[in-house]
Amino acid sequence: MIGLVALSLMGLVLVQYQLLRTGLLLEKGKFDQNMRGTLVDLNIAINLSYDTQLMLQRLHQEKERALASPEMLIPKRLQDSLQHFIDSSLSKRGIVLAYEFGLIASAERDTLLVTKGFQRSNYRYEEFTRTLNGQVTSVCACQPILHVHVDHLFNFLLGRLAILIVPSILFLLLLVFCLAWLIRNLNRQRKLDQVKNEFINNLTHELKTPVFSSSLLIKMLRQRLNGKSEKVEEYLQLMEKENTQMKGHIEKVLELASWESGHYELNQHPHPLHLLVEELASRYALKLEESGGSLALRLTAVDDSVAMDPVHIMNALQNILENAIKYNPGAVDIVLSTSEKGEYVQIEIQDDGVGIAPEHQKKIFEKFYRIPMGDLHAVKGFGLGLSYVKQIIEAHRGEVSVESRKGKGTKFIILLPKHS
């Protein structure tokens, strides 16, 4: 899952990069168009300014006749005029940026005018050129070319996209932070889960020793006190029953812990499901009849061969039957049926007991979850039975679900793949 999230994040970064690249190309195209428009505006402005044309003419004639003392201001005045024209045109288009420019006579390649930072060969700059034409060429008797160099154009274009780039970067950083936080929490959860399983294993193994000793002592007492008193025998049977129940709880916890840690092996082989169901029914039919209930079989599946571990499947079905009996205080009627659903054999265990409220149905397969209502508090248990059922069925590539209405009974549905 983490790998999938990381891959999705990398894909999102790649998409954002492509969007940024496309945005920069679009902004570059728009900027080029604005610069061409600016140079056209400049050409028109020069043609409308006779003083500017005269200054260009005098600069072009400088090589034949040097500038006199009052004319020494012409380059500065012409530079200011051209810069004013360019700034006005750029401002009209919402563009403010630094640039350098120069005027070069096209025929003689003479430099008529350049700003301080202008260099004719400088690859750091983005260059825009236009040959001036119209009235200016006839007055000047030349055809000057205007070169405009824009430095750090990439930074300017990024600034134009800042309203999109900054939120994208912030959200990507937030996703990276969330992913790192998720990985950290999952690692901590994995370590805690490992410690918990080790604790459960150690605890249950330690508990098995006194349980075994108690069982041995009960047997020794029965041999010593055999037939001496009915009351003593009753107490011994009660102790033995409680000891067996404790042993069952310990085994269930150990088995569930081994399934979660992955230290388990399924002994799967083709086995007739009906044979297993009939054996299970024979165990519980008499018990239900004694309490006024019943267990009916409706085995309609024609092909009941399933690749399974009979011990684990038997335990899973037994857990469901035990719950149906334990959690229904009165007599309960249970129907255990089988049918075929495509490539699966379907097992249904339906009772007419107290039912399960909708808000609890999605949680009953969670480990340690017990329904906190009514008489269910009086029933002893750890909330592990249905969690074990779910893990067993899913290990067989099957599915388990529940359908229930409060006060109308419960139906567990199990799908197991047929043996192919």
pLDDT tier for residue 335 given thresholds of 50, 70 and 90 = very high
How much is the average pLDDT of 118-135?
80
Q: What percent of the chain clears pLDDT 70, i.e. is strictly above it?
A: 86
Q: Is 303 left (phi over 0), alpha (psi -120 to 50) or beta?
A: beta
DSSP string, 315-347: HHHHHHHHHHHHT-SS--EEEEEEEEETTEEEE
- Look at residue 325 in the predicted model and tell me its pLDDT: 85
Per the model's pLDDT, the better-predicted residue between 89 and 237 turns out to be 89
Q: Are residues 200 and 278 in the same domain?
A: no
Helix (H, G, I), strand (E, B) or coil at 384: coil
Q: What token pair was written down for 150?
A: 């824009």
Q: Are residues 239 and 102 in the same domain?
A: no
The rounded distance, in Å, linking the Cα atoms of 81 and 417 is 88
Q: Given a cut of 60, is residue 266 above it in pLDDT? A: yes
- Look at residue 376 in the predicted model and tell me its pLDDT: 44
pLDDT tier for residue 380 given thresholds of 50, 70 and 90 = low
Model confidence, pTM:
0.48
How much is the average pLDDT of 280-288?
84
Q: Give the number of domains in the chain.
A: 3
Domain boundary among 261, 286, 314: 261
Give the residue numbers spanning the domain of 217. Answer: 164-261
The rounded distance, in Å, linking the Cα atoms of 420 and 411 is 28
Q: Are residues 182 and 238 in the same domain?
A: yes
Q: Are residues 336 and 406 in the same domain?
A: yes
Q: Are residues 366 and 287 in the same domain?
A: yes
Q: Given a cut of 90, is residue 292 above it in pLDDT? A: no
How much is the average pLDDT of 225-243?
74
How high does pLDDT run on average in the chain? Answer: 81
Q: Given a cut of 90, is residue 371 above it in pLDDT? A: no
pLDDT tier for residue 377 given thresholds of 50, 70 and 90 = very low
**Which CATH number belongs to the domain containing residue 340 in this structure?**
3.30.565.10
Per the model's pLDDT, the better-predicted residue between 274 and 63 turns out to be 274
